Amino acid sequence: MRVVIDANVVAYYYREKVKCHSPPGTGPAEQVIQRLGPLDTAIIDSGGRIKAEWGDDRRVDEDWFGNWYEDQLIVGGVSIKEVDDCKDLIRHLADKCGFPERKENRWYLCVARALSTEQGGRVVLVTEDVDFFDPTDKGRSQHRDRTLDRQTGCVTRYLLRKEGIVVRTIKGFLEDCRDGH
């Protein structure tokens, strides 16, 4: 399956695998990343924006990331796709749901939209960022946790209904995989 993976999932994987911390997300990011290559391919934009966010040295070690990324390209765990800036989608989500229009998050949506259009169907975006569910819950930890647990919000509903994009947390993605979705 071709998926879009947010930088927070890669950072969580780094913290679990390299730093030996317990999973900081809703589930073990390591299980998401281990699927890359044999089962899934993470699609990123050809402009390098997602790659840059994944490898941000505030999130992961630069040397580790370079090696991991090259390995993923070799095994087919990561693939690069040309995408447009999907300004109409971003503007709509900003106006209706409060999605942060200027943040780099928009590129995950542009890749997911391009895949959905190409495939004519369901594309999964794996993230722990509340902006992809309900941006109004950002900074409100109780609301944020509930939103991530339910995997729903203004953004997710619109993306599923109008774009064929399914937004899942780590836990939700892994549950879907176990259930055969």
Long-range CB contacts (< 8 A, 24+ apart) of 97-103? 97/134, 97/135, 97/136, 97/153, 97/154, 97/155, 97/158, 98/135, 98/136, 98/154, 99/131, 99/135, 99/155, 100/131, 100/135, 103/131
Domain assignments of the chain as residue spans, ordered by start? 2-179
CATH number of 2-179: 3.40.50.1010
Distance CA 68, CA 109 (A): 24
What's the pLDDT score for residue 120?
82
With beta carbons less than 8 A apart as the criterion, state whether 161 and 152 touch.
Answer: no
What's the pLDDT score for residue 121?
75
Write out the two tokens for 42. Answer: 């993470």
For 101-116, b/e burial (b = at least 16 CB within 10 A) is eeeebbbbbbbbbbbb
Q: What is the pLDDT of residues 31-44, one digit of tens each?
A: 999 999 999 999 99
> Does residue 74 have a pLDDT over 90?
yes
Q: What is the pLDDT of residues 84-143, one digit of tens each?
A: 999 999 999 999 999 998 788 999 999 999 999 998 878 999 999 999 999 987 777 677
What's the pLDDT score for residue 135?
92
What's the pLDDT score for residue 141?
67
- The fraction of the chain above a pLDDT of 70, given in percent, is 98
